[in-house]
Chain A
Amino acid sequence: MRSVSVAGVGLTRIKEHWEKSLRDLFAEAALKALDDAGTDEIDAVYVSNMGSATLQSQLHLGAMMADAIGKRGITALRVEAASASGGVAFHEGVKAVASGLHDCVLVGGVEKMSDALPGEVAAALAMAEDQEYTAYTGVTKLGLNALVHRRYMERFGAEAKEIAMFAVRGHEHAVGCPHAQYPFKVSVERILASPMEADPIHMLECSSVGDGAAAIILRPAEEAEDGVEVASTAVATDFYHLTERYDITVFEAVRWAAARAFEAAGVSHKDIDVLEVHDDTTITGVVSLEDLGFVEKGKGAAFVAEGNTARGGELPTNTFGGLKARGNPVGATGLYQIAEIALQLRGEAGPCQVEGAETGLAQSLGGLGTTCAVTILRRR
């Protein structure tokens, strides 16, 4: 297997892009990434997306997006793993280059959520869960997160304000981030005073609806000008029904994917200089920190409240704002995370920069901890 390099990245700002279509957004990010990599010679396109079948009544995205950037005659396909689509597509793209099958792959994620009404978006997101026995009850994705949130507070005695600090940190980090949807600070008091979305989760603890696209160019490391290398990628899945998990406060898929990624990269937790975790609500961010192995189970919320995940802290986490403040265009989110790690390692994170970052990890979740994709990048 060959070493694989992140040779280029391209991001659109995340917001409600009323004037741009799914195709427009993809092309914008993909062309930026190609320009960044200084190439136009790609031989495969992996498109990550979750909701286009319902949000736009559109499928066949591989061919559509290859065509959108003027490519014919190459391999193109869509990868879907709910909100882990981006991380899983990246894993597949890396395999294709590492194996020698392809020499230059574009992995691009896109989601356009503002085309649909709120109830339609909630139904689209609930497609990450079993339609016959989970979505059937009328539970939303945020409602499932709430079941974990409540149980976590009860089991570990975590306080609402400690868990809410995850969103406070994200908003602090997003200030100055050019692609963030919500680049401003929000106080813990304001979060806890916001209306309940799915009790005990407040509205301002939830990532929001947004449109965006993120693209990454992968090439064999020996050919790349750029110095960011894929140290490892791993994907794991868990029981599809939350009801069957032995402990709903544990994301076992995260533990498995992390263990595999750390082993394959040959690095340890103390080597990670910058971290991106999946915080579609505050609790998933907290549980992810724990199950990735950075914090003891039950102590994640206190760890965040104490400031350890701040940009200047022990473990700078979600340094561009995370899902909460940078934004969560679901099928593209995992690629925003990986692109952000690459920008940190290149020293091009601007006001979000973590000085001297050499190794970073991105973790993406599909469903409520059902699919987990972990990516470790390092500077060569």
Chain B
Amino acid sequence: MSVPRYWREIKYRYRLIGEMCTDCGAAFFPRRAVCPRCGSKDLEECKLSEKGAVVSWTVVRNPPAGYEKYAPYVVALIELDDGVRILSQVVDVEPEEVEAGMRVEATFRRVREDGSSGIIEYGYKFRPVIE
């Protein structure tokens, strides 16, 4: 992987930056050039909520190349408190403990490595909220 391909996503992945349509108010993740709801091209970056709830989830048991050492792991569709939905691994939890509606929060984690001498990629994963 080239350095810029990783570098250009850092802001969005490290800080959960999405995009909001200034005309209709719809928010998106990841970023977009055009609002698919109203067609506006006037969008601006917005900080997404770092907490949300699990809508649906799975346990990946046969992972793609590069993710072997994490398997089995939970991947969930999460609805953030601002209504934006995001796909993420859910960590620090046993698969059987996950349930619909479970409260989760973003956390900064190692995601994968590009071989033994390439870039180590970091980004968001989510974990259960301790109330």
Contacts and interface: CB of A to CB of B under 8 A. Distances in A.
14 contacts: A119-B66, A119-B68, A122-B62, A138-B64, A138-B75, A139-B58, A143-B60, A151-B55, A154-B100, A199-B59, A199-B61, A242-B77, A242-B87, A248-B77
Nearest to B112: A138
Given A132-B30, A139-B87, A146 B58 contact: yes
A137 interface: yes
A295 interface: no
Nearest to A123: B64
Contact of A199 (B58, B70, B89): B58
Contacts of B60: 138-140, 143, 198
Nearest to A134: B87
A138 B62 CA distance: 10
Contact of B70 (A135, A138, A239): A138
Interface residues of A, number: 38
Given A132-B9, A147-B58, A243 B77 contact: yes
Interface residues of B, number: 34
Contacts of B87: 133-134, 137, 139, 241-243
B56 A119 contact: no
A296 interface: no
Contacts of A134: 87
B75 A197 contact: no
Contacts of A242: 77, 87
Interface SS majority for chain B = strand
A148 interface: yes
B131 to A, nearest CB: 24
A154 B99 CA distance: 11
A147 B30 contact: no
B98 to A, nearest CB: 9
B75 A143 contact: yes
Given A119-B68, A136-B111, A244 B85 contact: yes
A306 interface: no
Interface in A231-265: 239, 241-244, 248
B12 to A, nearest CB: 8
A130 B30 CA distance: 10
B65 to A, nearest CB: 4
B36 interface: yes
B68 A147 contact: no
A197 B72 CA distance: 10
Given A130-B30, A137-B87, A147-B75, 16 more contacts: A122-B64, A133-B30, A137-B75, A138-B66, A140-B60, A140-B63, A142-B62, A147-B56, A148-B56, A151-B56, A201-B58, A241-B30, A242-B87, A243-B77, A244-B36, A248-B55
B46 interface: no
A133 B60 CA distance: 16
Contacts of A151: 55-56, 77
A281 to B, nearest CB: 11
| Top-8 shortest CB links A-B | A146-B58, A123-B64, A119-B65, A243-B85, A138-B67, A122-B64, A151-B56, A199-B59
Nearest to A199: B59
A244 B86 CA distance: 8
Interface string B73-88: 1011100000001111
Most buried by B among A119, A198, A243: A243
A136 B76 CA distance: 13
